[in-house]
Amino acid sequence: MFNMILLVLMFMFMCGSFSFILKRKHLLSMLLSLEYVVLSLFFMLLVMLMIYKWELYFLMIFLTFSVCEGVLGLAIMVSMIRTHGNDYFQSYSIMQC
């Protein structure tokens, strides 16, 4: 039962990673792919911690860092749209900052 759930969660992780690799045109699609990967990692950690009957405090810390990652990504996207006028990933260069 748990092996099938872990297999599905690993498939979700691989699909999210594959989507992140392929959708490199817009920053918003890259951020959505990253959030999907983080969500699949969260569910994978939840299942693993419940199998071994460990404490779930780590999940709260993980969710806190994933929210910070999402907010930072949105802030970068807003600043990029303000300076460049679009969210194309190729038009943004670190050297211009």
Per-residue pLDDT, 38: 96
**pTM of the predicted protein model:** 0.85
Tally Cβ neighbours within 10 Å of residue 9.
20
Render pLDDT for 15-64 as a digit per residue (tens, 0 to 9). 999 999 998 888 899 999 999 999 999 999 999 999 898 888 999 999 99
Residue found by looking up tokens 């918003």 in the block:
28
Q: Where are the domains of the chain?
A: 2-96
Give CATH for domain 2-96.
1.10.287.3510
